[in-house]
Amino acid sequence: MGSPTVAQKPAEPLVALTGLTPREAEARLNQIGPNEPTSTRHYSFISDLFHVFASPLVLILVIAAVVSAFLGDVVDAVIIGIIVLLSGAIDFAQTYRSQRAVEQLRDRVAPTATVLRGGEWKEIRRREVVPGDILRLSAGDLVPADARLLMASDLYVQQAALTGESLPADKHATGEPASSKADASNMVFLGKSIVSGAATAEVVATGPRTAFGDIAARLVDHAEQTAFDHGLRNFSQLLARTVLFLVLFLVIVSIARHRDPLQSLMFAVALAVGLTPEFLPMITSVTLSKGAVAMAHKKVIVKHLSSIQNLGSLDVLCSDKTGTLTAGTVSLDRSLDPFGNPSQRALELAYVNSKFETGIRSPLDEVILHQPVCKGGRLHQA
């Protein structure tokens, strides 16, 4: 608990520590790549259009339009084509605008890191950090890469995303080799936040090779199909099977009754086109776009329209561990002297230490400051 603020001894001498030269850093960046947990996928204009118009229902409508034009019903073919183009344009415009907004927001809030380059501390973008860089970390910073601590002073790191523990982890330089284990006391990991203290660390892994990068890669490896897309695909397959069955049934019946095969086929195709819901893509695109606009007014960016339905169908939201199985709070059971005996003096000294703690107070400091002995911000006489 709240021990006096005393800097730990460095795990190794830091004399003549100059970091990488700009040329060395550039060479490693070109060799290893940017410090991004996952590779950013950039889709071309053509691929985005293909994704929008690749819906099974849209393909059925396109086939219906082609068949109508082939049979001479140009008006129906033109109407179906216009509806398909309008619904696809609405979907594409909303998706493209949302993706651009996300990219601009990502560029605007790009995280940075303080590194030692050529003997000088410089602030660079996180994606430019490379293995071998020397980092300077302090309270409030986000760790830009997996790094081994060279020197640490009262360092507490919030790493719940890796370990699931809600309380900050105590970190210190030990001189031991780098480790990828989340509970390594001499390591800090990409994306985790410094709660209190200060440290100097050497980067050992960046980008996908970090502990967090492995998790992020598995999460974005295969995008799950939304419930809306799954339902629309099932409906399109049912519609296609129904139309195909009716066309074949009508043709077989007409041939059995010795009617003109060509006329029977044209009648069956006309019936199939009539059964196809031409306005359904338009209705879904307009409805989902309206939902995206409503979310935008609440400062929420919807990248894919089909995710609107998933959000609206949520009945129960489950969170892991803290706040469900545990409360995530610290409590003080008793204060003891060095011999294990109850001591009010120990609590008073702990209060003084927590009161004048530098940086951000730890959860234990907050608990000590709220003990009865410290009511009103003044020490009560024991």
Please list the active-site residues: 320
CA atoms within 13 A on the CB side of 161: 16
Contact criterion met (CB below 8 Å) for 88 and 52: yes
Contact 138, 187 (CB under 8 A): no
Residue type at 93 in one-letter notation: A
DSSP β-ladder status, 193-205 and 134-138: antiparallel
Q: For residues 103 and 97, what is the distance between their CA atoms, to the nearest angstrom? A: 10
- What is the maximum alpha-carbon separation in the chain? 110
Q: For residues 288 and 99, what is the distance between their CA atoms, to the nearest angstrom? A: 16
**Partners of 200 in the β-ladder:** 136, 151
Q: What angle do CA 323, 162, 133 make, to 5 degrees?
A: 140
